[in-house]
Amino acid sequence: MNKISQVDQIMAVMETAFDPQWGEAWNRRQVEDALLLPNTFAILNTSDSQDETATGFLITRHAPGEEELLLIAVDPNYRRQGTAKKMLSQLKVDARTRGASHIFLEMRENNPAKVLYLRAGFEPIGRRRAYYLLSDGNRMDAITYGLSI
Ligand SMILES: CC(C)(COP(=O)(O)OP(=O)(O)OC[C@H]1O[C@@H](n2cnc3c(N)ncnc32)[C@H](O)[C@@H]1OP(=O)(O)O)[C@@H](O)C(=O)NCCC(=O)NCCS
């Protein structure tokens, strides 16, 4: 599927999935610019219904030998049904196919997604102090996670 044709569905999930207090959602321009790059990919999950509503997505970037998970989100109406877990499993397959031996990601320190990543086999490997600038002007550390695939 053409990556840019996925942008409408990605944005539909983006608009529901992120709590504005963290300022983590990307705007349409950021998604389009990312997906125009040849080394950046999306995985989209759709519901079983006839209209194939988008329920979740992830965006990932490949570099020689490694993959960086840039963003993952699931519509709140479809959470805790294994959608993110499924997309991470697909990412492992796709990343290996592209020649990656590791997947990395960065996460705001207090994000409950930590449990998702730990259960998927990721391990915390670093901390970047005051990495995120929050919408209220405060800063928060980022934890870097890595997974050998
Ligand atoms: C994080 C997120 C992607 C998880 O999506 P999801 O489809 O609900 O996750 P899954 O159903 O695949 O969860 C798999 C396992 O991860 C863990 N998990 C997922 N979300 C969790 C949460 N909020 N709190 C604690 N554990 C969680 C659980 O162990 C879960 O298994 P269980 O439901 O059997 O207990 C979703 O909550 C989301 O979109 N959050 C907002 C965006 C965000 O913060 N993204 C991550 C940073 S970019």
Q: What is the pLDDT of residues 113-137, one digit of tens each?
A: 999 999 999 999 999 999 998 888 8
- Give residue 56 CA to ligand 1 midpoint distance, Å: 11
Report the pLDDT averaged over residues 23-45: 96
With a 6 Å cutoff on the Cβ, whether 73 touches ligand 1 is yes
HSE-CB for 120 with a 13 A CA cutoff: 26
100 Cβ contact partners less than 8 Å away, ≥ 6 residues apart: 62, 65, 66, 67, 149
Report the pLDDT averaged over residues 25-51: 94
With a 6 Å cutoff on the Cβ, whether 71 touches ligand 1 is yes
3-148: CATH topology = Aminopeptidase (3.40.630)
Strands 102-108 and 66-74: parallel
Confirm if 82 and 116 have CB atoms less than 8 A apart: no
DSSP type of residue 14: H
With a 6 Å cutoff on the Cβ, whether 16 touches ligand 1 is no
Give the total residue count for the chain: 149
Q: Tens digit of pLDDT for each residue in 60-105?
A: 999 999 999 999 999 999 999 999 999 999 999 999 999 999 999 9
- Report the C-alpha gap between 14 and 11 in whole angstroms: 5
- Give residue 90 CA to ligand 1 midpoint distance, Å: 16
Report the pLDDT averaged over residues 43-60: 92
With a 6 Å cutoff on the Cβ, whether 1 touches ligand 1 is no
Provide the residue type at 131 as one letter: Y
Q: Give the residue extent of every domain in the chain.
A: 3-148
38 Cβ contact partners less than 8 Å away, ≥ 6 residues apart: none
The pTM of this model reads 0.96
What is the reported pLDDT for 51? 80
Instruction: Examine the pLDDT at 48 and tell me if it is beyond 80.
Output: yes
What is the reported pLDDT for 50? 78
Closest atom of ligand 1 to 69 CA is 48
pLDDT band at 1; cut points 50, 70, 90? low
State the chain's mean pLDDT as an integer. Answer: 95
Under DSSP, is residue 83 helix (H, G, I), strand (E, B) or coil?
A: helix
pLDDT band at 41; cut points 50, 70, 90? very high
**What is the separation, in whole angstroms, between the first and last Cα of the chain?**
25
Catalytic residues: 106, 117
